[in-house]
Amino acid sequence: MARKSEKFDVHQEITNRIVAALEAAGEFQLPWIRSKGGSMKRPVNIASAKPYNGVNILSLWVAAQAQDYPSNLWGTYCQWQERGCQVRRGEKSSLIVFYKKIEFEQTDDATGETKHAERLMARASTVFNAAQVDGFTLETDESLPDDPTFDPIEQAEAFAKATGAVIEEGGDRACYIPSSDSIKMPERRRFTGTSTTTPAESFYSTLCHELVHWSGAKHRLDRDMTGRFGSESYAIEELVAELGAAFLSGDLGITQEPRADHAHYIATWLKVLKDDMKAVFTAASKASEAANWLANIDQGDAP
């Protein structure tokens, strides 16, 4: 009796191909246009148009480099509002110090004479970079097209909507923000693709990547990778998200073959994990769980 053939597992096949591609993976390319990050121009206040001084220069330079902010313009929450801009939910502020002049009367103990005196008091304040607000146009070194260079993929659009996730498009960053439980995506006209992917494939696979991150929240799949991977849990979560994006891209027909870009991106994180090549299989299991959960989510019950 002929042995019954095993059911084809598309997720396992994609995983196997990506693992095989890791050895030959090249450098990862960001598939959208970003403003130049990590501005080292002297920080300037948006309200006064004056540069910051002293330790505030170093503090804001460090913040710009750490978060890859492209602008040297900073302001408090209220200062941005006064400019008609809104700091996005979930954005973290950067710390500065300002000195407030305090006037007081000082009495000379020897003569009894009262004199007017001034003292500078150090006060802490928090500011946000121009890249953290909506309603402000950042200057870029590259011209952007007026409209996206790709048409919406109906199946992918319907899938994203069905998850119930809050997805905001604007700016030049892609990320899941746990504090606001929302996904931030670059505006579509920024997506140019790479040498191995189209702009549409880049946009939707990036969106799938962030949706996988979204699925791991405590009130959803509660994906905690700290047990085995400890301080490297962030790297393994990135592996989960990118493998999940590859699975979803195949399920949704966004790409017919695993993109080389997935392998390039995953390779950057496997380097962090040093010799633990088995990590990709752990990540693949979690990624498959996330992809299946997202694909079968009940809109009425979506947390």
User: What SS3 state is found at 152?
Assistant: coil
Is 140 within a domain?
Answer: no
Give the domain-ending residue among 134, 162, 195.
134
For the record, the structure tokens of 188 come out as 């579509």
Is 58 within a domain?
Answer: yes
Q: How many domains does the chain have?
A: 2
User: Are the CB atoms for 258 and 214 separated by under 8 Å?
Assistant: no
Does residue 208 share a domain with residue 71?
Answer: no
Does residue 125 share a domain with residue 177?
Answer: no
Is 302 within a domain?
Answer: no
Q: How far is CA 117 from the centre of its chain?
A: 49
CA distance linking residue 77 with residue 60, whole number of Å: 16
- Residues of the chain predicted below pLDDT 50: 1, 141, 299-300
pLDDT confidence of residue 170: 85
Give the domain-ending residue among 113, 134, 155.
134
Does residue 283 share a domain with residue 154?
Answer: yes
Does residue 86 share a domain with residue 171?
Answer: no
pLDDT confidence of residue 20: 59
For the record, the structure tokens of 53 come out as 């001084």
Return the closest-CA partner of residue 282 out of 215, 229, 234, 245: 229
User: Are the CB atoms for 211 and 163 separated by under 8 Å?
Assistant: yes
pLDDT confidence of residue 124: 82
pLDDT confidence of residue 299: 47
pLDDT confidence of residue 63: 81
Dihedral of the alpha carbons of 137, 143, 147, 150, in degrees to the nearest 10: -130
Is 56 within a domain?
Answer: yes
Is 2 within a domain?
Answer: no
Burial of 180 (0-12, 13-18, 19+ CB in 10 A): middle
pLDDT confidence of residue 33: 61
Does residue 244 share a domain with residue 157?
Answer: yes
pLDDT confidence of residue 40: 61
Is 213 within a domain?
Answer: yes
Q: For residue range 164-219, list pLDDT tens digits in order.
A: 999 999 877 888 999 899 999 988 998 988 877 889 998 999 999 999 999 999 99
Give the domain-ending residue among 134, 166, 191.
134
Does residue 177 share a domain with residue 51?
Answer: no
pLDDT confidence of residue 300: 47
Q: For residue range 30-53, list pLDDT tens digits in order.
A: 555 655 555 567 889 999 999 888
User: What SS3 state is found at 302?
Assistant: coil
DSSP 191: B
Is 3 within a domain?
Answer: no
Is 185 within a domain?
Answer: yes
Q: Which domain holds residue 72?
A: 44-134
